[in-house]
């Protein structure tokens, strides 16, 4: 199948912050989408999608089922639980889990589904809700090359950088490495901004200047303005990053790789959640620095 192949049928499970945009982009690309979410109101918002009343109904006619769920137990429930995909495999024989979950769990599910004639691809994403909206996600896929080749045209409707990074679990592994860099980079932005603020420097101007030099980063570019203005509205939530950092810590321990920088940033995220920021976007990590430096915002 090429990226311009005949439109197919997608079972889409999990129409939250990311999934709603991804499903709309699949529809825009001409695919039929049979959508299921435990919150039927989330499905109702996807105009053009066929609402499914269960996982089985979403999978029934699907070439591929895509899951976009919060955490490992949610994906395990949808794949292996009662009424799940293992008992109701899509006729196309492909399940692509695009959530961020444990690489070990992804490998385990890959093996269990293979026994039912279904190929699991772990295909987490980077790019946030804006990337999901614009169809410009980075998609890192683990699984067999044959399954990836069949899923690729569907991924191409949602992302611009779509890469097969290895066998089962490799996509989740690459995604967790991505999160190590994202978290430490956000922390570096917070520290530079806190220092500049205490010195009385104009933060907006400093951000612009730094974006032209070697400290430029996606985080400073996209999250810097909200950090400076104090806008904490959610995109990628603090709670979700803490989930990812837990997965990173589990992987690092199992492989005996010390990650001191990540451990330190994780503590800052724990502090942010303790201060009630869990539902806010990642830029709200800067509010920890508001408190550490006794800055009072309106
Ligand atoms: P979300 O919580 O907004 O959406 C998850 C959706 O899954 C919800 O609509 C929820 O009702 C549904 N759901 C939960 N359990 C279900 C079940 N058993 N059956 C059917 N539906 C179920 O989460 P999100 O922000 O869209 O993130 C989804 C995944 O993508 C997470 O693993 C996250 O780490 C990852 N991710 C998120 C972002 C981001 O910026 N939000 C970026 C990259 C990756």
pLDDT digits (tens, 9 = 90+) for 96-105: 999 999 999 9
The CB of 283 under 6 Å from ligand 1? The reply is no
What is the CA(114)–ligand 1 centre distance, in A? 25
- Say yes or no to pLDDT of 235 above 90: no
Residues of the chain with CATH 1.10.1040.10: 176-292
Give the C-alpha distances (Å, rounded to integers) separating 114 from 71, 107, 173, 250, 256.
Answer: 22, 11, 20, 25, 29
The residue length of the chain stands at 298
- Say yes or no to pLDDT of 243 above 90: yes
C-alpha 179: how far from chain center:
10
Q: What is the pLDDT of residue 297?
A: 75
- Given the residues 175, 197, 207, 287, select the one marked as catalytic: 175
- What span, in angstroms and rounded, lies between the C-alpha atoms of 157 and 146? 19
- Say yes or no to pLDDT of 3 above 70: no
Residue 28 annotated among the catalytic residues of the structure: no
Across the chain, mean pLDDT equals 96
What architecture (CATH level 2) is domain 176-292? Orthogonal Bundle (1.10)
Q: What is the pLDDT of residue 190?
A: 97
Q: What is the pLDDT of residue 298?
A: 63
The CB of 125 under 6 Å from ligand 1? The reply is yes
Percent of the chain with pLDDT over 70: 98
Q: What is the pLDDT of residue 2?
A: 41
Lowest mean pLDDT among 5-19, 111-125, 181-195, 252-266: 5-19
- Say yes or no to pLDDT of 50 above 70: yes
Q: What is the pLDDT of residue 275?
A: 95
* Dihedral sign from CA coordinates of 257, 97, 169, 150: negative
- The CATH number of 9-168 is 3.40.50.720
Q: What is the pLDDT of residue 1?
A: 39
Three-state DSSP at 172 gives helix
Give the C-alpha distances (Å, rounded to integers) separating 36 from 5, 135, 239.
Answer: 25, 21, 23
Residues of the chain with CATH 3.40.50.720: 9-168
Confidence tier at 5 by pLDDT (50, 70, 90): low
Mutual orientation of helices 72-80 and 103-114 as an angle, nearest 10°? 10
């Amino acid at each position: 199948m090429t990226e311009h192949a005949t439109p197919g049928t997608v079972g889409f499970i999990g129409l939250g912050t990311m999934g709603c945009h991804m499903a709309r982009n699949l529809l825009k690309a001409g695919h039929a989408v049979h959508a299921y979410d435990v919150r039927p109101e989330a499905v109702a918002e996807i105009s053009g999608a066929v609402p499914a009343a269960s996982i089985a109904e979403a999978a029934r006619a699907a070439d591929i089922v895509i899951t976009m769920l919060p955490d490992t137990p949610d994906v395990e429930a949808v794949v292996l639980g009662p009424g799940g995909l293992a008992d109701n495999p899509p006729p196309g024989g492909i399940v692509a889990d695009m959530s961020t979950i444990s690489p070990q769990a992804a490998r385990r599910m890959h093996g269990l589904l293979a026994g039912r004639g279904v190929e699991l691809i772990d295909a987490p994403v980077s790019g946030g809700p804006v990337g999901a909206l614009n169809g410009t996600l980075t998609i890192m896929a683990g699984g067999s090359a044959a399954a990836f080749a069949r899923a690729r045209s569907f991924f191409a409707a949602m992302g611009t950088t779509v890469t097969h990074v290895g066998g089962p679990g490799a996509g989740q592994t690459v995604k967790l490495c991505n999160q190590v860099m994202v978290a430490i980079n956000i922390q570096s932005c917070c520290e530079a901004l806190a220092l500049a603020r205490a010195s009385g420097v104009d933060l907006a101007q400093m951000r612009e200047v730094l974006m032209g030099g070697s400290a430029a980063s996606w985080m400073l570019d996209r999250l810097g303005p909200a950090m400076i203005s104090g806008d904490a509205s959610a995109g990628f939530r603090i709670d979700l990053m803490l989930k990812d950092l837990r997965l990173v810590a589990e992987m690092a321990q199992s492989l005996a790789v010390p990650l001191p920088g990540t451990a330190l940033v994780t503590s800052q995220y724990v502090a942010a959640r303790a201060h009630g920021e869990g539902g806010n976007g990642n830029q709200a990590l800067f509010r920890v620095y508001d408190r550490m430096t006794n800055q009072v915002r309106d």
